[in-house]
Amino acid sequence: MKILVVDDSAVMRKIMIKALNEGGYTDVVEAANGLEALEKSAGVDLVFTDWNMPVMDGLAFVKEFRKTTQKPIVIITTEGGKKEVLEAMKSGINDYIVKPFSANVILSKIESLLQKSGCGPD
Amino acid sequence: MSKHLLGNESFTQDFIEVTIEVLFTMTGLDVESSGFYEIEGHSQGLDVTSCMDITGILGFSGGRRGSVLLTFKEETALKAVGGMLGMEFKEIDYYVRDGVGELVNMIAGGAKAKLQPKGLDFELSIPNTISGPAHKLSAPDSAVRTRLDFTSPAGIFFAEIYLQEAVLLPL
Ligand SMILES: [Mg+2]
């Protein structure tokens, strides 16, 4: 399973990749903004994306990504306000994580998304 | 008339709680609030960053304009970002600057979520980090800033919030 991690913070990307690797997910690509994420999104099975990023933010990326694929997207954001979460849901995300989060939240989101799509971990 | 149409105390407590939660969840540091107070206009002697080594700052726009900053001594910043990544840092580098920026980003976002239901809303900018011994940041003359003091096992640190007053339009 190929996972795309998008965040403008290098520290946050490191934290997420470490959590994914520890959970056995080693095929991970990273991008620092939405535009770079679109360029690297071919063949990706699942996306974790930040919201607040320069160049192209998370919402704009989700809208573009959704034009070509329905692969699951989890938005990871500091924007925990109700208004923002609703806006993200409308743009086509499948789930969200509010920062600050602990690393194991990442893995449990993957599990629940895989179960929803009917293909549990092998 | 009070200068604070919403009363700073109504958001001060929210920023304190969010700062403690963000630092604990992300860095593992057990942080405690050790007080807060207001700084009016030109209180040069109280310039919070001038005795610190690294400051993350994030601007608010949209509903209410202003900013929030988080400022550390080098050794505290190294331990905080070291805690985020489970690594040891020896000097302020790209990752330490990035990590401090992300901490202030999370504090601003968390505060926004708490303040939105109280009718205080704003958009978040991208965080910036400034480092170097004795760096100074200045706020507009009219700015009333609220400074928050914290203690942690890695040293003391400060946050400062500046929120422009709401403009009341005549009926
Ligand atoms: Mg970001």
Question: Residues B136-150: pLDDT tens digits?
Answer: 777 666 667 889 999
How many domains, in total, are found in chain B?
1
Q: Is residue A61 part of a domain?
A: yes
Question: Is residue B152 within a helix (H) or strand (E), and if so which, with residue range?
Answer: none
pLDDT band at B41 (very low <50, low <70, confident <90, very high): low
Q: Do B100 and B54 form a contact (C-beta atoms < 8 A)?
A: yes
Residue B142 has what pLDDT?
65
Number of domain units in chain A:
1
Give the angle subtended at the CA of B156 by the CAs of B153 and B161, to the nearest 5°. 130
Return d(Cα B17, Cα B24) in angstroms, integer: 11
Spacing, Cα A12 to ligand 1 middle (Å): 9
Cross-chain residue pair B85–A9, CB shorter than 8 Å = no
pTM: 0.89
Residues A28-42, mean pLDDT to the nearest whole number = 97
Instruction: For residue A106, count other CB atoms closer than 10 A to its CB.
Output: 24
CB–CB of A11 and B98 under 8 A?
A: yes
ipTM (interface predicted TM): 0.87
The beta-strand segments (E) located in chain A are: 3-6, 28-31, 46-50, 73-77, 95-98
Whether the Cβ atoms of residue B138 and residue B67 lie closer than 8 Å to each other: no
CB contact under 8 Å between A78 and B26, yes or no, is no
Residue B77 within a domain: yes
- Most B-contacting residue of A7, A8, A11 (CB-CB within 10 A), to test interface: A11
What CATH number does residue B65 fall under? 3.40.1550.10
Q: Which residues contact A16 (CB under 8 A, 6 or more apart)?
A: A5, A7, A48, A76, A103, A106
Where residue A43 falls among pLDDT bands split at 50, 70, 90? very high
Taking 90 as the threshold, does the pLDDT of residue B119 lie above it?
no
Q: What residues of A are in contact with residue B113 (Cβ under 8 Å)?
A: 79-81, 98
Mean pLDDT of all residues in B38-56: 76
- pLDDT tens digits, A56-106: 999 999 999 999 999 999 999 887 667 777 888 888 899 999 888 888 899
Asked whether residue B78 is assigned to any structural domain, the reply reads yes
Nearest to A81 among B22, B85, B112 (CB): B112
Q: What is the CATH number of the domain that holds A38?
A: 3.40.50.2300
pLDDT at residue B113 greater than cutoff 70: yes
- Give me the pLDDT at residue B156, please: 96
